[in-house]
Structure 1
Amino acid sequence: MRGNSLAQSRQVDYCTNTSLRPVSPSRILVDVVCVLCVVIMYVDLFHSRDPEVRMLPHLLRAAILGIFILVALGALWGRTESRLSVCLYVYAVVIAVPLVCASGSTRAQVFELSKLLMWPFGTIAVYVWTLHGHVSRKRIAVVAGLMLVAALVKSLSVSLDSSSSIYRTMYAYPYFMLFCIPLLLVNHVGSKRTVCLVAIAVCAVLLTFKRGALIALCLSVLAYYLGYRRCCASQKRVRVMNRILLLVGLLVGALVVLYREDLLLRWGPVFDAGAEDSSGRNIYYSVVLGHWASGSTWTQIWGYGMLSVPQSVEDMGHVGAAAHSDWLQLLHNQGVVGVIVFVGIHVAILRTIYEGLKNRHPVAPVLAMGAMVFMLANVYSGCTGDPTSMLCYAMLVGYSAARIKMECRASKADVRARGAGWRLRGGVVDSGPKTFR
């Protein structure tokens, strides 16, 4: 008896103490990806002009993409599918197959394809890892915090430099910081460290004076606040959130007063009907949409292929590397088929947010915040070609979707357990144990 009890106690200790468990290959891959993400960010920001390490970020991204593809392909043989993952698989196929089957693919097209495939496969990989318990909210917050600190140092050094023009500060990583903010909020919104980092990031985004980023910032904060009020049952926490937003709002208001001239210079053309848009987006939109509409039925349905937008814009007498809209870029490159698949991804993300809000899951407001930034950037800026920003978004969507799915599974199991407790007594339905009421 004593031997059996000793064996049982050892078994309990082995199951409860994570330090006694053998390290799984999946957990090692998660740690490798987290380290590579931080290394890529620091090398990109502080050593991008060094010829000796210029190729290092691209090689590290290729390694991360290879890990994501292996995990995503392995998930096809498991029971980890969801509507979102199916849409992401189809999106990757629609983008990759035409280029793989083409005989004259260039190195630039392959490089562009690798950037576009980072976020769909990354989302699926993080989703699978979270379902199997290899990704925690603390791990995500630590990685996002380290990457955000590097971005803040670089962004503020550019924004606060008196010799920098406001047109240079627009490229001080505003969308990357906007995607990092919800990743930080995944952990603990009441943490002083998190609040300070988020407040500094909000100020850094404001100092970029980028109009699209400021619109995304305001609407994403609104989406998070409304979702937080829906999911939080404690009125005390809601009051704390109100105070935090008030303090951050006062800080932002002070910056608006200090930099009002620069803000008016950037926002002046928006409110002046006769002013010319400094970004030139109207030219890109009309050229890209007109070129797609003038094509054959085949090209309208399937598109012109990868990196066809720069060539089309150049043929029309203009210069530009992108359409400044993911929707137009996808319409021109992959045609109507690509747009339909992209719509499916958005619908799947919105459905996931709805399920999270319905079950009052705490991660739903965070996902709503990131999705708002993503959907707005898709319309007037374009972010799917930025692998670093989309890597953050992939972590957010993959983790949030997995947590919400686990909550939905638990809710359905609870409903089935309650249904099993109902029984018939003397012609009257009895609800069974009181714990199920």
Structure 2
Amino acid sequence: MLIASADVIVTSPGRNFVTLKLTTSDGVVGWGDATLNGRELSVASYLRDHLAPLLLGRDAHRIEDTWQYLYRGGYWRRGPVTMAAIAAVDTALWDIKAKVAGLPLYQLLGGASRERCLVYGHASGKDLPELFDSVRAHLAEGFRAVRIQTGVPGLDSVYGVASSEAAAVGDGTRYDYEPARRSPRPTEESWDTRAYLRHVPSVFEAVRNEFGPEVALLHDAHHRLTPVQAARLGRSLEPYDLFWLEDVTPAENQEALRLVRQHTTTPLAIGEVFNTVWDYQTLIREQLIDYVRSPVTHAGGITGVRRILDYAGMYQVKSGMHGPTDVSPIGLSAAVHLGLAVHNFGIQEYMVHSERTGEVFGTTLDFSGGGLRPSEEPGLGVHVDEELAARYEYEPAYLPTNRLLDGTLHDW
């Protein structure tokens, strides 16, 4: 069964997505997600101009060989553009293989290790009353785990906090926080680390007092702290029993997490910007983190993330795959199939896509009991409306940049 065509679809039903469609000589179609927020066209070109010609005529069943061919054969290894492109090919090939087998994808990965994948939603608010409303809305929908992000006094905008107008839950107005603004240049935000470190513990104290000890609470520091600051935050949040504290410091310097680990028992999640198992080598081997965050979409697909999780499992490190709405429903479905199968699953990020996105990318995922489970439909269980996708043209959009109050460019 040979690959007969490889088509790249760029669509923007509210936000930009890059999708790969592989079709075999037998007419079987496989779908892959290659979305890289703010750099979408670079991946689309990589797929269309460099990988698609190499795929034509290859055996669609040889997934591992194709993965190695695209990774090792390209000489220029790793990096988000390369690994997002490889991810799309890999995911599409797994989709094809499962459809030919007549099985949902998770069955080809060893079958289910659990009934469903625990997920967490995003609760946010500019102040405590607005945050509490958001938490209540998520709990009412059935979430058992919630990420907590709030405004910081003195700062106009903070990552992860939707505007009041966008925070409503309901048909067509669902919270779909998109920090990538539709503009030819990135917007700039301001940041004050000391104000943030003073404010966050009081937020979690208030949330625990309001909602009790059972709901799992998470928080994302978004790479904005030094190791010493990260250690201070982790220790200050220990009384509130976080499920995890995410991306406390830029982890390219993996040894920096040694200092953080020495000073706090708050569980740590790292890696949504990591693309291969090599990025985690020290972090996993020395057990400096508790959860790995790489998504299927950005880390080489099912094959690439499975390598990371197999290595992580040796050290009791679990999955916590990145799953915002800039990962398309194809990428989310792939993550849920993988999460259902692997032994060391931890939790899956789950932001519900907008209504327009759902019309373009129809999925068969079931959300209940605080978790997601794929259907028994063969393959990924995703249906793409290509005609509708063509109506939504790409629009330039960039994630913000971030500056300290004195104007110094800071991590966003």
TM value normalised by structure 1: 0.25
- Whose helix fraction is larger, Structure 1's or Structure 2's? 1
- Whose strand fraction is larger, Structure 1's or Structure 2's? 2
TM value normalised by structure 2: 0.26
